[in-house]
Every structure is written in structure tokens, then in C-alpha cells.
Amino acid sequence: MRVGLVALGLVSAGIALIVASRGKQTATTGAPALTSAAIEAPITLATPLSVASPVDVDAGAAPFVPVWRVSNLSSDTTVEISEVKVGKHKSFIAAAMAAGVSRAEARRVAKAFEDVHSLGRVRPAETLVFARQRSSGRVVAFELQSSASSVWQAREDDAHRLTATQLAFHVESRDVRTALSIDTDLSAACGAVGHDDTLVHAIDDALHGHVAASDIRAGTRLRVVATEERVEGARAGVHVDAIEYTPASGSEAKAQRVYFYARAPGGTRRGPSGYYNALGQQPYQGAFRSPVPLARVTSRFNPKRMHPVLHVVMPHNGVDFGGATGTPVYASAAGTVVSAGNAGPCGNMVELRHAGNVTTAYCHLSKFASGLHGGQHVEQRQLIGYVGQTGRVTGPHLHFIAKRGGKYIDPLALKLDGVRVLPSRDRDAFRERRATLDAALDAISLPAAGAAPADAPTDEDHLAGD
């Protein structure tokens, strides 16, 4: 059941599971085709700019009976609940015994699962939850949790027979219509309307390549049409269907809209899929991503920088991203950790080695991602640390360095820009979809333009060697 909803902090459970329901978003057939002029039409803002954003009400989610979970027994003092990640345990039996379950009871659970789901191939990321009767050690209930929405459960009946089944969760997708006004950063703006960083990442994905990260700053306003997936009433993921970006006044950037379009429903890989601008174009960037998603560039790479105070050439050998202390910093690309430690003027620094003789370094971190160490492989966008102001700096920011063959290069030059254009056979479907999404965007009141952008650190806040 789909329910209208404007971003409310109804449930804050941030389960990192993206369940994008792209299938239902494909264009309907039979609608009148738009003229080819429509695809080039400029964006018009149908709502007055000065109207404040109203907060809608949750129009009554469909009632549902929550699925029974092993955790329901947590108040039962006759039962002991133990949980174990499969992790390094090589088999279900070994993992169960690590959780305190006897071998005989572990076998009894495995037997109950025999025809339902093989416990012979448990994976390290899966979690096992056992509920045992304290007096006898007998397993009265058990769960194998593969993900938030994929859980198998065994439960005893009155005759102490264990029966296993896959849990059927109440899954609901809801429309999210929200307007964001950025005062400090996107994360705070999402928080202000009751959303967590799941929405920040979804917006980052939608705008990636279309809007420069440095253009998302104080005074920027966004209108967002999204679909939220809820599993058992808890938010489990969000997918941006369309987004409108209105730059801060004074910005040279132009207002623009971006739409999700996929030829094939269900998110299969056949046909084009992704975020396109009004003209059906999809800019893409190369292998490297911003280490601080959507943070603005406060100081660019400049090998001939004149120091603002000393008036001598003092190269700025990287790019600075603004960000409060504690803002997560992610690996720009997959690679190997060369080092993670104190590096003098650079403060706490992580250095990564990538393919193509490229290295990246992340300076002034307040702390490192837990357990990060030299030699470790990291994935693109894996958390490596947090913005800080260690080393020779006066304010928190990320100083991001890139080298090729050991020589400093402009980190922004790592991105190879290009534009994909929708194939002609997709144009009609795209126009229909765009019209539907435009109507949804138009219906969201844009918050009034904020006051003058807040002060942010500039070049002058740096000392030499940063």
C-alpha cells in the first residue's frame, strides 16, 4: 500500500538496506506522447519561491500485525537469548556452539531447517539468534538473519516440535515529498526533516555528475520526490525518483532537475538506467568519488598559490573540502591502505594506493575508521576516517591529495567527465516519466531562500603546508 508522506521522523531505525522499487516507476503506456519540444523545455518553477514548506501528515500507514521475532522473548526470564555472527566460524554447528548451544541442539535446529533453507552454507555476514530454555538448554526458537528483510526462523510448537519457515515481512513503499534548505550541510538538512544519511547518500547518487559537489552549500534548496521502503514499519531504504536543485543566490550554477529512468522494470541491467537531466543526458564521472560526499570545495589545487599573508608562492598541493569535525571521510576509490597515522603538518593521515600508479591521501583527520591499518584493502566509499583539524591547520576540513607516479596532481582531474544520452527508443517513455515527476516536484512547496550563506573556512584559514 502506498501512502503519501512528507519526510517525518516517524521511525529512525536506519537499517542499511536499500530496497529500491524501481519496477513501479516505469512510465505508463497509453498516455499521449509529448512533443519533442517538451524534452528541451526549460524548467519552470510552478510554485512561488517564497512559500514555506508545509509539513504533511502521515496519512495513516496500513495497520499490520508485526511478525513474531525471537527478540519478543527477551522479557521471558525462563529463556536465554544468545546471538552470534557466523564470522570466522566455518559451519553452522561451530557458530551455534560458540553461542553456547549444545551440539545436539544445534543438530536439532539444522534438522528443522532441512527442507526449508540449507544451514550448510551459512555466510560470515549472517547472524544466528538462539532462544534457549534456561533450565534445559533446549532451543525454543531460532533465527538466521541474512539481512533486515531476509530472515528464517524456527519455533517450537506446544509439542516442542521445531518448525522452520522464512519470515514474511510487511513491506511497504511510501512516497516521500520533501523540500530541503541547506544551512550548513546536506546531512543536517536531511536530519532537520527527520531523515538520516540514507537519504544523503540517495541524493548524492541522484545528483552525482549533474551538480558539482561544491555547489551544494548554504542557501542551496532541494525538492525531492523519493520512494521509501519500510520493512515491518521501520525505514529500510530510500530511492530518489526525481530531484530539483536550486542554487544559492549568487551562484553561477543554474536550477536543474534530475530524473530516475530505467528502461527495464525491476532494476535489471538491460537497457539504460540511472539519473538523467531534463534533456535525457547523464553525465558520468570517472572511477574516483568525492571523499566527503557533496561537501563543497573550499580551496582548490594550486601549484602557484600566493600565500595570502606572506605573499610568497606556497603551492596548495591538494583540494580542501569543507566539513565539520566528525564528518565521515570515504575512500575515493578502491585500493590498499599504505599508511594510517600521524604525518606532521598533514595531521592524522590515511594514504591509499590505487590502480594506475595513483595514490590518494586524506589529511587532518580527527580519527581513523576503527581497525584501519596498513596493507588493508578498502572498497570505494568505504569509511576510512573523520574530518578533523589535526596537523598544521586552523579549522576543520579535509585536505585531499592525489599523486600519479609520485607527483602531485589536481585531485579533481582524476574525474573523467562524459555524457551519456538516452537512446532514441527511450525518449518517449522518458518524456512521460519526466512529466509525471515534474508534476510531483511542482507540488512541493519550495522553502523560502535563506539568509546570506554562513561563513565557511576559506584559503585564509590555512597555514603553510596544509
In the complex, the residues that contact Zn ion under the rule CB under 5 A are 320, 399, 466
Q: Which is nearer to Zn ion, 320 or 438 (CB)?
A: 320
**SS3 call for 421:** strand
> Residues 6 or more apart from 44 whose CB is under 8 A from it?
none
Minimum distance from CB of 390 to Zn ion (Å)? Answer: 13
Helices (DSSP H) in 54-136: which residue ranges? 92-98, 103-113
CA 269 from centre of chain: 20
Q: What is the DSSP letter of 392?
A: S
Q: Would you say 399 or 403 has its CB closer to Zn ion? A: 399
Position of minimal CB gap to Zn ion: 399
- Residue 11 CA to residue 117 CA, distance in Å, equals 31
- 180 vs 314, beta carbon nearer Zn ion: 314
Distance, in Å, from the CA atom of 71 to the CA atom of 143, rounded to the nearest integer, reads 10
How crowded is residue 463: how many other Cβ atoms within 10 Å of its Cβ?
14
In the complex with Zn ion, the residue whose CB is nearer, 145 or 348, is: 348
Question: In 3D, which of 341, 343, 347 has the Cα closest to residue 368?
Answer: 341
Q: How many CA atoms lie within 13 A of 448 on its CB side?
A: 6
| Residue (129 or 213) nearer to Zn ion, CB | 213
Q: Are strands 171-181 and 4-5 parallel, antiparallel or unpaired?
A: parallel
Minimal distance in Å, beta carbon 363 to Zn ion?
Answer: 7
CA-only gyration radius of the chain, Å: 26
102 and 137 Cβ atoms separated by less than 8 Å: yes
- Minimum distance of Zn ion from residue 320's CB (angstroms): 4
For Zn ion, the closer CB: 390 or 436: 390
User: Rounded to the nearest whole angstrom, what is the least distance from the CB of residue 343 to Zn ion in the complex?
Assistant: 13
- Conformational region of residue 266, where left means phi above 0, alpha means psi within -120 to 50, and beta covers everything else: left
SS3 (DSSP) at 454: coil
Closer of 229 and 466 to Zn ion (Cβ) = 466
281/458 with CB nearer Zn ion: 458
Helix (DSSP H) and strand (DSSP E) numbers for the chain: 6, 24
Pick the closer one to Zn ion by CB: 71 or 394: 394
The nearest distance, CB 134 to Zn ion, in angstroms, is: 59
Q: For the CB of residue 416, give the shortest distance to Zn ion in the complex, in Å.
A: 23
Residue 367 main-chain phi, psi, to 5 deg: -160, 165
Measured from the CB atom, the residue of 320 and 432 that comes closer to Zn ion is 320
Q: How near is the Cβ of 329 to Zn ion at its closest, in Å? A: 14
- Rounded to an integer, what distance in angstroms lies between the CA atom of residue 89 and that of residue 361? 35
The grid coordinates of residue 221 equal: 534548496
Distance in Å, CB of 186 to Zn ion, minimum: 22
Cα 293 to the chain's mean position, in Å?
A: 9
Return d(Cα 372, Cα 350) in angstroms, integer: 9
Work out how close the CB of 466 gets to Zn ion at its nearest, in angstroms, rounded to a whole number.
4
Minimum Å gap between C-beta 10 and Zn ion is 41
Q: How many C-alpha atoms does 138 have within 13 Å on its Cβ side?
A: 11
